[in-house]
Amino acid sequence: MTQQFTTPKKDLNWAELGFQYRPTEFRFRALHRNGQWSDGELITDNMISVHEGAPALHYAQQCFEGLKAQTAPDGRVLLFRPELNAERMRQAAERLLMPQVPEALFIRGVEEAVRANYAWIPPHGSGAALYIRPMLIGVGENLGLKTAKEFEFRVFVSPVGPYYKSAGLAVISLAVSDLDRAAPAGTGNYKIGANYAGGLLATRLAQELGANEALFLDARERRYIDEAGSANIVVAMRDGSFVTPGSNAVLPSVTRRSIMTLAEQELGMKIEQRAIDLRKEIDQFEEVAACGTAAVISPVGKIYIDGQWHSFYGEGEQAGPVMQKLYNLLVGIQRGELEDKFGWTHEV
């Protein structure tokens, strides 16, 4: 245990936290200059001062990650599969011609930011978590369309509550978007800001229809499910199979990959990763959920497509048994309440 682990917790109403930025004391920063990463350090300034020509600002040369730290019943602080986030940032950096953040630097940045802000890590049983946002941005003077000469890797943290506000498992609704999120050979499978700015309008339009979020179909045929604005999709079919889209234009969600393993190994379900033809198959959906670090597992009660709502388990008002079991398993492992058979948790 480090020194910081003895500092008293902040006096916050943990159970009431929403999903928003709350400043904490420390963030980790490493700079890439002249082809080399600096060692990296903890700093207190939550502002970044960059050149007005920075490629991150004009040409979206940037990527980010999202993961959580949670407190176990015995007080240990646990991350969930952080090496998968490191790998996904590595892939995004490669795609956007940015230098890779070595896994050791990524993990150390995350661990140092978490430890230094120990007082802000929600206690066990509060239902809240410490959200961790690593980011890599292209900075420095520039005008033409070319890669930045300097880069900043930063990790900040913020205590958060549920992404979709509700007591317990939130049942959400999705509206199919007429706008596309990602082209088949575009950048949809990378966690880069450019994918999200284009989705803001789709989210707003979906919310005007009364949905929580937009649901995107594949851009080529507008037939197959891709994903929601901030989460992947999983479906428990009436025939007992457990399915997720096979699209390569969606973010390879760490949560979804873990849920598929749990559905197969713990619930004994037949899992499939394949194209899901929404209009043809929607009547076969028993339970649907959106999943991700922020969304965790949020059952989808209904989906709006072609001018009508289609509802699933329990008239779209409640979580079904499959998603409830998967939620309990996933969150139980993440919070150190259940045995970590798969070796997914990482103690800070």
User: Which residues are catalytically annotated?
Assistant: 191
The reply on whether position 225 binds ligand PLP by CB under 6 A is no
The reply on whether position 334 binds ligand PLP by CB under 6 A is no
Size of the site for ligand COI (CB under 6 A): 5
Beta carbon of residue 293, minimum distance to ligand COI (angstroms, whole number):
4
Considering only 160, 294, 297, 300, the residue that binds ligand COI (CB under 6 A) is 294
Considering only 255, 298, 324, 345, the residue that binds ligand PLP (CB under 6 A) is 255
Cβ contacts of 308 within 8 Å, gap of 6 or more: none
Q: Tell which positions 214-233 bind ligand COI, by CB under 6 A.
A: 230
Beta carbon of residue 297, minimum distance to ligand COI (angstroms, whole number):
12
The listed partner (ligand COI, ligand PLP, none) that binds 173, CB under 5 to 8 Å by sort, is none
Residue 86 or 137: which CB sits closer to ligand PLP?
A: 86
What torsion do the CA atoms of 38, 118, 256, 248 make, to the nearest 10 degrees?
Answer: -20
Residue 161 or 292: which CB sits closer to ligand COI?
A: 292
The listed partner (ligand COI, ligand PLP, none) that binds 253, CB under 5 to 8 Å by sort, is ligand PLP
Residue 50: exposed, middle, or buried by beta-carbon count in 10 A (0-12, 13-18, 19+)? middle
Which residue in this structure is represented by tokens 């400043």?
23
Q: Tell which positions 45-104 bind ligand COI, by CB under 6 A.
A: 66
Mark the segment that binds ligand COI (CB under 6 A) among 145-153, 166-174, 287-295, 316-324.
Answer: 287-295
CB atoms within 10 A of CB 100: 17
Return the beta strands (E) in the chain as ranges.
Answer: 27-33, 36-37, 41-43, 62-64, 67-71, 77-80, 129-139, 150-160, 172-176, 213-217, 225-228, 232-237, 241-245, 270-274, 285-292, 296-305, 308-311, 345-347
Residue 113 or 234: which CB sits closer to ligand PLP?
A: 234
Alpha-carbon distance of 220 to 7, in angstroms, equals 53
Beta carbon of residue 294, minimum distance to ligand COI (angstroms, whole number):
3
Alpha-carbon distance of 203 to 250, in angstroms, equals 16
Mark the segment that binds ligand PLP (CB under 6 A) among 140-148, 246-254, 265-273, 337-345.
Answer: 246-254
Alpha-carbon distance of 303 to 191, in angstroms, equals 25
Alpha-carbon distance of 143 to 223, in angstroms, equals 40
Please provide the distance, in angstroms rounded to a whole number, between the alpha carbons at the two ends of the chain.
Answer: 9
Alpha-carbon distance of 260 to 243, in angstroms, equals 8
Q: Tell which positions 110-129 bind ligand PLP, by CB under 6 A.
A: none
The reply on whether position 293 binds ligand COI by CB under 6 A is yes
To the nearest 10 degrees (0 to 180), the angle between helices 254-265 and 321-334 is 110
Residue 32 or 154: which CB sits closer to ligand PLP?
A: 154
Q: Which residues bind ligand COI (CB under 6 A)?
A: 66, 230, 292-294
Q: Which residues bind ligand PLP (CB under 6 A)?
A: 66, 227, 230-232, 251, 253-256, 292-293
